[in-house]
Amino acid sequence: MTTRPPPLTIGGREFAWGRRTYVMGVLNITLDSFSGDGLGYDVEAAVAQGRRFAEEGADILDVGGESTRPGFDPVSAEEEIARALPVIERLLAEVDIPISIDTSKSKVAKAALKAGAHLLNDVSGLRHDPEMAALVARFGVPAVVMHNQRGCPFSDVIGDIRGGLEASIALAAAAGVPRERLIIDPGFGFGWTVEQNLEMLRRLGELVDIGLPILVGTSRKSAIGAVLGLPVEERLMGTAATVVIAIAHGADIVRVHDVKEMVQLCRMADAVVRTPVED
């Protein structure tokens, strides 16, 4: 059996990898979220959703002020901060679970981390902004590093993911970020065909030997819509199937829009693949 990574403290909470699956709830403070849940500048709605996610069992809230959907319209760092920071500040005061900032811009990350955010979630794997890795080291926070396949030549699904993640891990190490503070994300939906996304899930277990916790974000994504022929608002069951498969193949964190349902799903899947349940 592969040894799981050592526990990681995020926002004062211990995340013991392999013991159970952790749930990251998505808060899109955007105007053009692919999933139709963008909250724009409505701070009250975003905070209410964050409180609800915490009550429903989320372990982390992931706040993002810029869409990362295919063909997204970029926004400035100042705009991203204006959207995300008021929500982060309120959530830090009103919920007792870790808050993550979803950004690839060091200026945005700095503002969020100075305000008290506990985790960076960077879909570029620290590779978009040359100052990001050093910023993570300076604040001493954990970071999710994703392999983003957009614009990259394709060779092999797992091989390409490994290569991208190894580059991000090396960037972090060069900046002084301890390896044990990293969480890896294979980048479901970021530059892959439908079949390549499905292959990623089938072969996810091949990434476990990297020795870092794995985050998977399949929730409501277009590959599910393509397989099922369903619009984004009808992809709950398809998302559930992908989340179960990810857990069975080694996912430690799942990033989701439908927290209540996915918390229940994770607990049931964990009972099968992690902890024996007595009758």
Q: Is the dihedral of CA 156, 128, 130, 252 positive or negative?
A: negative
The per-residue pLDDT for 71 is 59
- CATH of 15-273 given 3.30.1330.40, 3.40.50.2300, 3.40.1690.10, 3.20.20.20: 3.20.20.20
Q: Is 69 helix (H, G, I), strand (E, B) or coil?
A: coil
The per-residue pLDDT for 62 is 97
Residue whose C-alpha is closest to residue 15's, from 270, 247, 213 = 213
Please list the active-site residues.
221, 255
AA letter at 27 = L
The per-residue pLDDT for 70 is 63
d(CA 229, CA 267): 28
* Bridging pattern class, strands 60-64 and 22-28: parallel
pTM comes to 0.94
d(CA 127, CA 146): 10
The per-residue pLDDT for 279 is 45
Q: Is the dihedral of CA 262, 50, 122, 176 positive or negative?
A: negative
The per-residue pLDDT for 4 is 85
The per-residue pLDDT for 36 is 44
Q: What is the mean pLDDT of each run of 10 residues along the chain (279 residues)?
A: 85 97 94 52 90 98 83 82 95 98 98 98 97 98 97 97 98 98 98 98 98 98 97 97 98 98 98 73
Locate the domains of the chain by residue range. 15-273
What are the distances in angstroms from CA 236 to CA 50, 195, 218, 231, 239?
19, 20, 11, 10, 5
Q: Is the dihedral of CA 147, 166, 215, 156 positive or negative?
A: positive
Strand partners, 122: 145
d(CA 217, CA 204): 12
